[in-house]
Chain A
């Protein structure tokens, strides 16, 4: 078409040169593209995107939700939170060979980290694992100082549970701990992940669903040195809800102080509505030790302690009630008309029934004993006779009506049942018939009958109300309605008791404290305090002799106190293990009653002064 050498030719060669240049740049472009592709593929390949590149860019940090607080009835703090550090392990870039050193540095068993990682396999990889909460200064220093060696570790802020010191109300509040493997398999804890902190005992356990919040998380951009460069998104943590209890801190404090150095329990409740005002069990434990992770040595000490500090004696100690059981026997006798108020017995220090001699606790005897004196002096011989006349099944009927030998249903985990024997009970459990002789022991609260302190408090409260037993509870019903809208308050249990008979019992109980009875130590001048002592043998006399220590031989001391005489507002039961005699448990109850009465004065003054609502200087506790 064109001749060589023509301008067209030159055009052509120019065009060719341009094409070559284009080709060159094209090649370069393709090459650069390939290089970038290589980089993407080899360094930031999709499967590694999460694991490697992602780790240099985006990180998920958990935001731990604080638990709800636990308050007393006046809103005073029983369990709070305070800030601490937790350490998380990134599961995308941890080096298994580091784990041993990390475990050592964080004072964790190596196997634990390992099993924790195993268990967390189902979690998305980018979610880091909290491997320890509540780090000590030393552990914080360890993590910080090894930042370059262990980039997989990271410190985050968290909330640690703060409980009162010295185990104050420890059995009531309970404690939190990391969810265990066994718990994770229960539906109740299904939504938790390993490392989560849940309630383990007491209120913390009972109302864990209310107290625990929902953790949030923060997605942040970090550079490869781990420095945060920006926040992509935040899912806020939802804090747990606080719970107000029926407990009155003033009464709880008085009871705690009164029980210092003693083993036993105190339960104070308002029989009119079942609200528990104080609940103490000693010896106690320091729940703060559980708040992070309990040290093996501390745990070992707790479970090997012969006094069983973890046992909540208020609801779990099943012991013979001793003489505190006598008023129920009297009630059964009166109600079943086996005796009347004029029934009198001569006590000469003992009596023989069914061929066996039963002693009274006063060797010289009480002389002529009526119902009133029988209760006031706690004469055993009198109640042997009442029991013998009434019979075991009538006794059991009224004792069971009062709630003895069955769970009260208090909102605490692991309540024990106690035992109220009867002919049916014996047949069912031992396939044997009841011997009338056994009734004699039961009549003074020995033998097979065992109760828990809470049962006794509820039982007395209901009797003194004329046969209305409210279920004991730790969270006020109005509070419950707010926390759980579907909640229904349980109607009180009613068993008709003649008010005349109730009055006779009450007058006996009044005499215990105010007419030189066994409970004079509980007397509070100016108030009509009701009371009843109880000294219960721990074991049969033969067994007791076999034991060596004197402490082992001592009886358990019980005391029940209530005030005022008509329609008591408060019933307090104290159990003083190995206290020797019920009269020694009386001052414990007196302190609690006095704390209640003194507070009532403060409250009345405050209410009376309500119109000029000026800030009130209050020395002890808040006034509601």
Chain B
């Protein structure tokens, strides 16, 4: 099993250097925590979910559901540990999102930036939906689902992904 996972990773055509990937994750988490403190962007900082964008990017790149879900879980748990909510909430959601993303790469061509941005929009909605569902079902917190806001934010995150992914693509190594 170990070997086969390795094989699959090796088999990726376009890959990111592991250090770059780690740096991207840490940067995303840091920015998410730090941006709201900066004077100009503070009010907008919470609109973006940078860790989600990075998780989707990496998962799409991996083309391996197992690797994808592990990445998602790692980012989600890290995010949970920095918040004051229960740990595992973001973890579960990001695991599922990342798993679905990497599974999709097996049936869809996700190389084009456009496709990926559309996927980001869709997954953002899914992400928020699951968050809402988990809060409601598992934590018993009756929060309302803000449809309009969610779709608006999905669009914003999609646009952000456009810039971010283009930037990250520069670091991809062709094998």
C-alpha gap A57/B137 in the complex (Å): 11
In the assembled complex, B139 has its CB within 8 A of some CB on chain A: yes
8 Å CB contact of B141 from A39, A43, A223: A223
Q: Which residues of B contact A224 (CB under 8 A)?
A: 139-141
The count of residues in chain B whose C-beta lies closer than 8 Å to any C-beta of chain A is 5
Q: Which residues of A contact B141 (CB under 8 A)?
A: 223-225
Within 8 A of B (CB), among A208-230: 223-225, 227, 229
Give B129-144 as 1s and 0s: 1 = Cβ < 8 Å from A's Cβ atoms.
0000000001111100
Residues of the A chain whose Cβ atoms lie less than 8 Å from the Cβ of B139: 56, 224
Residues of A within 8 A of B138 (CB): 39, 43
Across chains A and B, the number of contacting residue pairs, with CB separation under 8 Å, is: 15
Contact with B along A215-256 (1 / 0, CB 8 A): 000000001110101000000000000000000000000000
> In the bound complex, how far is the Cα of B135 from the Cα of A227, in angstroms?
14
Q: How far is the CA of A224 from the CA of B85 in the complex (A)?
A: 12
Contacts of B142 in A (CB 8 A): 223, 227, 229
B140 partner residues in chain A, CB cutoff 8 A: 53, 56-57, 223-224
Q: Which residues of B contact A39 (CB under 8 A)?
A: 138
Chain B, Cβ-Cβ closest to A221: B142
A96 smallest CB distance to B (angstroms): 23
Min CB gap B1→A, angstroms: 19
Task: State which residues 141-155 of B face A: CB under 8 Å.
Answer: 141-142
Q: Which of B98-156 contact A (CB under 8 A)?
A: 138-142
- Name B137's closest neighbour in chain A (CB-CB): A39
**Roughly how many angstroms separate A43 CA and B138 CA in the complex, as a whole number?**
9
* Interface membership of chain A positions 29-60, coded 1 if the CB is closer than 8 angstroms to chain B and 0 otherwise: 00000000001000100000000010011000
Alpha-carbon gap, A53 to B139, bound state (A): 9
- Looking at the assembled complex, report how far the CB atom of A147 sits from the nearest CB atom of chain B, in whole angstroms: 14
Which residues does chain B contribute within 8 Å of A229, judged by CB atoms?
Answer: 142
A223: B residues at CB distance < 8 A: 140-142
CB distance from A75 to the nearest CB of B (A): 48
- Closest Cβ of chain B to A305, distance in Å, is 53
Q: How far is the CB of B165 from chain A (nearest CB, A)?
A: 32
Nearest residue, chain B, Cβ from A56: B140
Give A225 to B138 CA distance when docked, in angstroms: 13
CB distance from B100 to the nearest CB of A (A): 15
A37 to chain B, nearest CB (A): 15
A53 to B140, CA, bound (A): 9
CA of A433 to CA of B138 in the docked complex: distance in angstroms?
Answer: 88
A224 to B141 Cα, complex, angstroms: 5
What separation, in Å, do the CA atoms of A223 and B142 have in the docked complex? 6
Within 8 A of B (CB), among A484-518: none
CA distance A224 to B140 in the complex (A): 6
Please name the residue on chain A nearest to B139 by beta carbon.
A224
Name the residue on B nearest A229 (C-beta).
Answer: B142
Inter-chain CA distance A167–B16, complex, in Å, is 84
**Residues from chain B with Cβ under 8 Å of A225 in the complex:** 141
Q: How far is the CB of B40 from chain A (nearest CB, A)?
A: 31
Q: How far is the CA of A56 from the CA of B142 in the complex (A)?
A: 11
Find the B residue at minimum CB distance from A230. Answer: B142
Q: How far is the CA of A223 from the CA of B143 in the complex (A)?
A: 9
| B140 nearest CB neighbor, chain A only | A56
Nearest-CB distance from A480 to chain B (Å)?
52
Residues of B within 8 A of A57 (CB): 140
Chain B residues whose CB sits within 8 angstroms of the CB of A56 once the complex forms: 139-140
Q: Which residues of B contact A43 (CB under 8 A)?
A: 138
A381 to B175, CA, bound (A): 135
The answer for the CA separation of A322 and B94 in the assembled complex, in Å, is 94
A223 to B141, CA, bound (A): 5
Bound: A150/B142 CA distance, A: 21
Residue-by-residue, is B73-90 near A (CB-CB < 8 Å gives 1, otherwise 0)? 000000000000000000
Q: In the assembled complex, which residues on chain B have CB atoms less than 8 Å from the CB atom of A227?
A: 142
CA distance A225 to B172 in the complex (A): 45
Measured between alpha carbons, how far is A177 from B62 in the docked complex, in Å? Answer: 71
Closest to A53 in B: B140
Whose C-beta in chain A lies nearest to the C-beta of B141? A223
Closest chain B residue, CB of each to CB of A224:
B140
A 237-280 to B, binary, CB cutoff 8 A, 1 in contact else 0: 00000000000000000000000000000000000000000000
Residue in B closest to A225 when the chains form the complex, CB atoms:
B141
- In the assembled complex, the CB of B7 is this many whole angstroms from the nearest CB of chain A, namely 24
Distance A140 CA – B115 CA, assembled complex (angstroms): 56
For the complex, give the distance between the alpha carbons of A560 and B112 in Å. 110
For the complex, what is the distance from the CA of A304 to the CA of B1, rounded to whole Å? 85
Complex: how many Å from CA A229 to CA B141?
A: 10
A15 to B138, CA, bound (A): 39
Kindly report which residue of chain B lies nearest to residue A55, judged by CB atoms.
B140
The answer for the CA separation of A229 and B142 in the assembled complex, in Å, is: 8
Shortest CB distance B140–A (Å): 4
Most chain A CB atoms below 10 A, which of B138, B139, B141: B141
B79 to chain A, nearest CB (A): 20
Rounded to whole Å, the gap between the CB of A402 and the closest CB of chain B is 73
Most buried by A among B138, B139, B142: B142
Q: Which residue of B lies closest to A227 (CB)?
A: B142
Q: What is the bound-complex CA distance between A56 and B139, given in angstroms?
A: 8
Interface centre among A43, A53, A57, A225 (most CB of B within 10 A): A225
Q: Which of A39, A56, A223, A229 has the most CB of B within 10 A?
A: A223
Interface centre among A39, A224, A227 (most CB of B within 10 A): A224
The distance in angstroms between the C-alpha atoms of A225 and B140, with both chains bound, is 9
How far, in whole Å, are A224 and B138 apart by their CA atoms in the complex?
A: 10
Distance in angstroms from A439 CB to nearest chain B CB is 84
User: How far is A224 from B142 in the complex, measured between Cα atoms in Å?
Assistant: 8
A43 and B134 CA atoms in complex are apart in Å by 14
- Inter-chain CA distance A43–B137, complex, in Å, is 12
Shortest A32–chain B CB gap in Å is 13
Q: How far is the CB of A230 from chain B (nearest CB, A)?
A: 9
> Please, how many angstroms separate the alpha-carbon atoms of A43 and B139 in the complex?
11
New contact pairs (12) apart from A43-B138, A223-B142, A224-B139, CB-CB < 8 Å: A39-B138, A53-B140, A56-B139, A56-B140, A57-B140, A223-B140, A223-B141, A224-B140, A224-B141, A225-B141, A227-B142, A229-B142
11 A-B pairs, CB-CB below 8 angstroms? A39-B138, A43-B138, A53-B140, A56-B139, A56-B140, A223-B140, A224-B139, A224-B140, A225-B141, A227-B142, A229-B142
Which 9 A/B pairs are nearest by Cβ-Cβ distance? A56-B140, A223-B141, A224-B140, A223-B142, A229-B142, A224-B141, A224-B139, A223-B140, A225-B141
